[in-house]
Homo-oligomer: A and B are copies of this chain.
């Protein structure tokens, strides 16, 4: 079981977009450069985040990305769902309905306890990710940020912000 690299990228990008000034946007190329990742792979994830209503994409030469709503209203779960999809990690194939002891389908109306157990664990995982917002993460990042990194980031942003 593995989450795609896009989850790490998407959450970091959202955290960076949370600190750019209101009314500005940052191009996908800059988001890729800041995180040292492939622009072409990143674009796919930025598009998914845009489709999910987490980012707004402004097209054109003055275009780029910004958050679609306040960072305090974007949960980490929303970003993970946008990039990974909402399918559960455990997918019950109903093997209880196969084999020599199988009965007619009507017998299996209640969910299999094994499926229920696996899905309950995923709900606990989702609940934990829903409890954290991008604003929480930015707060955590800011608290431990080295002042030199903050200054380097601000200088770098200055050259790349648009709008």
Contact = CB atoms under 8 A, between A and B. Distances in A.
Query: Chain A contact residues: over half helix, strand or loop, or mixed?
Result: helix
A59 interface: no
Contacts of A89: 1-3, 89
A65 interface: no
Nearest to A76: B117
Interface string A116-155: 1110111111111100100011001100101011001100
A21 interface: no
A35 B95 contact: yes
B8 A90 contact: yes
A146 B12 CA distance: 51
Given A114-B12, A128-B124, A146 B1 contact: no
A104 to B, nearest CB: 9
